[in-house]
Structure 1
Amino acid sequence: MKKTHFWKTLLLIVLSAIVVVGCSSKESSSEKKPGTKSGDKEMVIAVNENFISMDPHNTGDTNSNSVQSAMLEGLLGFDAEGKIIPKLAEEYSVSDNALEYTFKLRKGVKFHDGEDFNAEAVKANFERIMKDDSLRLNSRGFNLITKIDVINDYEMKITIKEPYAGMLTRFVSAKILSPKLLAEGNDKIAKNPVGTGPFKFVEWVQGDHLTVERFDGYWNKADRVKKITYKPVPENGSRVAMLKTGEAQVIYPLPSQNIKELESNSDVKVEKIPSTIARYVSINTMKKPFNDPRVRQALNYAVDKDAFISVVNAGFGLPLDSIIPSKTLHYVKQEEYQQNIEKAKQLLKEAGYANGFKTEIWGNTNSDTMKGMQFIQQQLKAIGVDVNIKSMEEGTLSDEIYGAQKPEDTKLQMWYVSWSAYPSDTTNATKPLFYGGSFPPEGANTAYYKNDKVDKWMDEVNKTADEAKQDEIYSNIQSTIYKDAPWIFLGVDEILTGKRTNVEGVNITPDGGIDVTNANLK
C-alpha cells in the first residue's frame, strides 16, 4: 500500500512471463530465457477477490487499495514497519497546537498524463474530498479541513478546525490524482486512475484482470517489470496451480492448507509475516434478536476461537482478544470469550431464545470465506442457532452493504469479514468500525453499533496529543466494546504469500496490502 523498498540490480538471467491480456485469452506459463531484456519482463499477481473501485478517495477494500498503490501516491507513505515517511512531500511539519500541517512538495514529478504535480494539484484533490460527503475519506479527517493555503508551487499549509490524531495517516490514504482526471468526474476516476506512481493504468476487465504498465517517467528510478497483471482468482486451488506452473509469479493470500506442498517446491518460496488483519463476524445490533447484548455474547461463547485458527487458518494466526489486533498501537488484551456452550445457552434463555433462532450470514465467494462461514454455521448449531449461508461476488456484496440506505432498512444480519489498519493507525482500526457516525455508507460500522460513551471517547482521543491520555482512553474503548460484543471475535491472521523464486521487490504489508513499487524478476 504505502511503502518503498530498494533492491539489488537485475541479474543477467531473467524470467519472461508473457501475459496475453484480453477477455478470451490466457496467460502463458513463465520460463527462463537467456538474454531477455529488462524492459520486456511481465508479472502476474493472483489475488483472492475482485477489485471494486480505483477511486482512492472512496475505497474500502484492501485489494483495490493494493492495485491503486501501484499507480497512485499520497503526500506521505508508510515504511515496512508502518511508520510514516515522506512520499510526494519531501518534508512535513505539524504545529504545536496540531492544527496546521505544512508540506514541502517533491519537484519535477509528472502525472502519467503529462500534467505537472504541484501544490495546486494537491489542493484540487483535497477539495474534491472535502466537498463530496459521499467519499469515504470525507468523514475520515478531510471534513475537518478549514483552509488550504498554497504558499508557492511546492509548498502548502493545511489547517483543520480541531486536533485529529489520525490526520497524518489520512495524508497517506489520500492518493493524488491528475487534475485533468478530476475534471472528468467520479465515474471516470473509479475506472481509469491517473497518478504519479511507478506504474500506469492500462485496462480493467471486470472479474478477469487489471493491468498496469511501468511508468518510465517515475521520479524514483529503479529497474522494474514492464507490466503487472492482477487477476482475481477466488478459488484457492486455482491460485496455487497458477503459482506452481508459473502462470502467476505471486499469489496472495496463499491458502494455509497448501503450505507444505509449496515449501517442497524448489521454484516457489513461501513467506509468513505477522499482520494487523482482524477476522470477525459483524452482528447487526439493530436487528432482533441481536439488539440484546446477551445474544451477541452467547454467539461469542459458542465459537471455539482456537478451533477457528486450526480449522479455517490451518493453525496460522492468533485469537482476536480485543477489538484490535495485538500489533496495533494502544492494544490492550481483554478477557477472551472462551468457548462455553452451557453459558451460551443460558444467555440465550435469559434473552428469551431458549430454543435458538434462525439467521443468515453473508460473505464473498472466495474459498477461505466459504470455509469460515461453514465453520460459524457448525459452531452456532450447537446452541440452537440455525445459520443460512449467503455468498455473493465482492462487488455485489459491497453494494448490498454500503449502498445508501437507512440502517433500519438494511437486510444485513451477520457478515463474515476482515479489517486491517497500519500498526500506528489506531484511529482507522477503531473509528470506522465502532463510531456511531460511521454507519454505512459513511463508514464500515456494519454492526450498526452505537454507544454514547464510546463515541465521546473517540472524539476525545482524536483531539489529544498526550500519549498517556490516549492509552487510557483506548483502554476504555476496547474493554467497553469487547463486552458489548458487536462482533463474533475470531482471529488475527498471519500473512501467507507464495512467490516464484525469481520474484524481487514484491512485499506484503502488515495490513494485507501488496507493494509493487520495485517489482522485478531476476
Structure 2
Amino acid sequence: MSTGAWAGTAPLTIAFPTDVPSWDPLVRVAPNPISIYRSVFDTAIDIDEKGVLRPGVVTAWRWKDTEGKVLELDLRDDVLFHNGDKLTSDDFKFTYFDRLHADKSLQVGGIWWALDSIETPSPTRVVMHFKAPMVTAPAFLGYLGGYLMPRKYFERVGAAGFIAKPVGSGPYKLVDYQRDSRITLTAFDKHWRGASKFRDVVFQVVKDPTSRVSAVQAGQADVSGMLPLRETVRLGQVGTLGSKVTPTIDSYLIHMVNSGPTTDKNVRLAMHHAIDKQALVRAFFNNVPAVMSTAAAPGTPAFDPAFQFAHDPALAQKLLAASGYSKDKPVRVKFLATNGVYPSDFDMARAITQMWKNVGIEAELTPIETAQFFSQAVAGTLPGPTLWLWQNGSGDPELSAGSYLNPKGGFSVWRSPDVSPHLDPLLVQLDETKRIEGYKGFHRWAVNEGYSLPLMQGIATAAYKKTVGYTPFLSGWMLPDYWTA
C-alpha cells in the first residue's frame, strides 16, 4: 500500500484485540478500548506518549485551596463536537456531574464520588468543588475519568439514540459499526489539533493473537497490536514491515480475592514466593520488561527499586506447610487469565500454574473475557486469583493500587477493611513528595500482606507497514491521529 492510498482511496486498517463495551463511554470504565474511545472522544486533559499530563481541551488547571477540594480549569474556545456544536463549560458540567447524578448506573460516576458541584462562570472556565480532597482529579480527567459528552445532542436523542449514533469531539467520527467485527472512522476535519494524517481508519476486531499476526503479515491489516513478542520481532524482520516492543507504565499482576483459600495469608504469600518472575520475563518477553516487586512500574513516580520480594520456593512450601498443605495435600484454587488480549497472557498463566504445582498449589486455569472480569470484579464474584494487565496511562499510584485495593471504591478486587487506614491518608495528601513516599510504603505493606502479586511491567507490541509512521505510547495506546503517513 503506498502512502498516497491514505489520501482517501483505502482506509488504514488496525487489527485490534477488543471492541468497545458500549458507544456511551461513561457506561463502563474500561481500559482495553481506550485507543478506540480516544479516537472518537476527547478527555478533558491530554496524556502524551511519555505518560505525562498536558493541556488538551483543558488548557490549564490549578488548585484554588490548600486541601485539594477546589480545582479551577480553563477550556479551549475552539473545540467542536462532530455535529458542529461548540464544546463549552456546560458540556463539561453535563459530563462530570449532571449526567452522573441522573444515571447512577454509569461506572464513571464511581470515580467522581467526592464531587459536590461544578461552577461554570464562563463558557471557558470551570470550577470543580469536592466534598473531600481529590488530589488526583487532573489524572482522572486525563485517563479514565470520562470522555467529554455533548449535552444538547445527548438530551435531544437520548441514551439509546446516542449509542446508535455517538457524537464526540475527538479526531475521528464514527461512520459504521459492526459489533465484534469492524469500527469504521473518518477524520474530523475541524478537530482542534487539526485533521489527522490518515483520513479513514478501520479498527478490525481480531481477538485471536495468531490471527492478528497473520493479518499484518498477509497485508490484510496495516497495523496489528498486542502480539506475542517473538512474533513481533520476527515480523519486524520482514522487508515491508516494522515492529515496536515497548515496555509500558502498566503492570502485569495477579489480583487476589478475599474468598476461598486465598483468605489465608500463608497461601497468598506462598503463591507469590513460588513465582520465578525473571524466568517469565525471559521466556515470554525476551527480558524486555522489568520484574516488579511492588505495584508501581519503572518510569512512574512511586517506582521503588529498593524493595525486592524474593522468589523462594522453599519458603513457599514452608508457608503452605504452616497451613496444613503440601505437594501430597495441595491447596486447590481457581485461577483466571485473559487469553490473547495481552501479549502471552494465557501462556504465562500456564507457566505460573506449573510453578505453583511445584510447591503444592493446584490451580484450575480458566480463561476470562475482559467484560466478565470487570463485571465480576465490581460485583465481588471473581472465583479466584486473576492474572491481569492493569493499565494506568497516567502513571499515578492512586489509579493503580490506590484503586484496585481501595475497598471503598468501585474498582477494588481485594477488599478488606485493614486497607483503608493505610490508604485513606494518601487520598487527601496534597504534598506530592509525601504522597509518593506514602504510596511506596503502602505498596510494600500490601505486597507483604499478599493482597496483590505484582509480576512485571507491561509490554506493548505492534507490527506495521513501514509506510506507517507509528508512534508507540508508554501507556500502550494505539492512536492513529498521532501517526504519520
State whether TM-score is above 0.5: yes
Cα distance in 2, alignment partners of residues 182 and 191 from structure 1: 11
1:386: Cα distance to partner? 1.8
Query: Where does residue 278 of structure 1 map in the other structure?
Result: 251
What does residue 8 of structure 1 align with?
none
Aligned match for 2:396, one of 421, 425, 434: 425
Q: How does 1:151-166 map to 2 (within 5 A)?
A: 151-166=121-136
1:245 positional shift: 2.3
- Cα distance in 1, alignment partners of residues 455 and 298 from structure 2: 13
**CA distance in 2 between partners of 1:365 and 1:471 (Å):** 34
CA offset digits 1:361-405 (Å, max 9, x no partner): 122331722212211221111122222222144334444444xx4
CA separation of 1:37 and 1:303: change in aligned 2, threshold 3 A: closer
In structure 2, what is the equivalent of residue 295 of structure 1? 267
Are positions 1:317 and 2:289 aligned together?
yes
The offset of 1:334, in angstroms, is: 5.7
For 1:110, which of 73, 77, 80 is the aligned residue?
80
1:14 maps to none
What secondary structure sits across from 1:200 in the alignment?
strand
**1:86 alignment partner in structure 2:** 55
- Distance in 2 of aligned mates of 1:62 and 1:248: 23
Three-state SS of the structure 1 residue aligned to 2:430 is coil
User: 3-state DSSP class of the match of 2:348?
Assistant: helix
Cα offsets for 1:50-102 (capped at 9, x unmatched): 43234333443333111000011122111222222221123333214233222
Deviation of 1:188 after TM superposition, in Å, equals 5.2
Question: Residue in 2 aligned with 1:261?
Answer: 234
> Superposition pairs for residues 173-184 of structure 1, below 5 Å?
173-183=145-155, 184=157
Structure 2 distance, partners of 1:396, 1:472, is 35
Instruction: For residue 298 of structure 1, report the CA deviation from its aligned partner.
Output: 0.4
Matches within 5 A, 1:67-466: 67-97=36-66, 98-127=68-97, 128-140=99-111, 142-172=112-142, 173-183=145-155, 184-186=157-159, 189=162, 192-285=165-258, 287-333=259-305, 335-354=307-326, 355-366=329-340, 368-402=344-378, 405=379, 407=380, 410-438=381-409, 442-443=410-411, 445-446=412-413, 448-452=414-418, 454-466=419-431
Q: Cα RMSD over matched residues?
A: 2.4
CA contact (8 A) 1:73 1:175 kept: yes
Kindly provide the amino acid, as one letter, of the partner of residue 57 in structure 1. L
Q: What secondary structure sits across from 2:71 in the alignment?
A: strand
Of residues 480, 491, 515 in structure 1, which corresponds to 2:456?
491
Q: Percent identity?
A: 18
Deviation at 1:331, TM superposition (A): 2.2
- Show structure 1 runs of 5+ residues with no match: 1-30
Assess, with a 3 A threshold, how the Cα gap between structure 1 residues 197 and 471 changes in structure 2: closer, same or farther.
Answer: closer
- Distance (whole Å) between structure 1 residues aligned to residue 257 and residue 138 of structure 2: 31
Q: Which residue of 2 aligns with 1:469?
A: 434
State whether residues 105 and 118 of structure 1, in contact with CA within 8 Å, keep that contact through their aligned partners in structure 2: yes
Q: Which runs of 4+ in 1 moved over 6 A?
A: none
- Cα 1:264/1:475, change in 2 over 3 Å: closer
After superposition, the C-alpha distances for 1:266-285 in whole angstroms (9 at most, x for unaligned) are 21112233311211121212
State whether structure 2 residue 5 is matched by structure 1 residue 32: no
Question: Deviations for 1:220-273, whole angstroms, at most 9, x for unmatched residues?
Answer: 224522221112323222212211222111111232111442232121112233
SS of equivalent residue, structure 2 residue 318: helix
Is the 1:222–1:518 Cα contact (8 Å) retained in structure 2?
A: no
- Per-residue deviation at 1:304? 0.9
Q: Provide the C-alpha distance between the structure 2 equivalents of 1:264 and 1:350, rounded to a whole number of angstroms.
A: 52
Distance 1:185 1:372 in 2: 44
Report the equivalent of 1:514: 478
Q: 1:494 to 1:363 in 2, by over 3 A?
A: closer
- State the TM-score, normalizing by the size of structure 1: 0.85
- Where in structure 2 are there 5+ consecutive unaligned residues? none
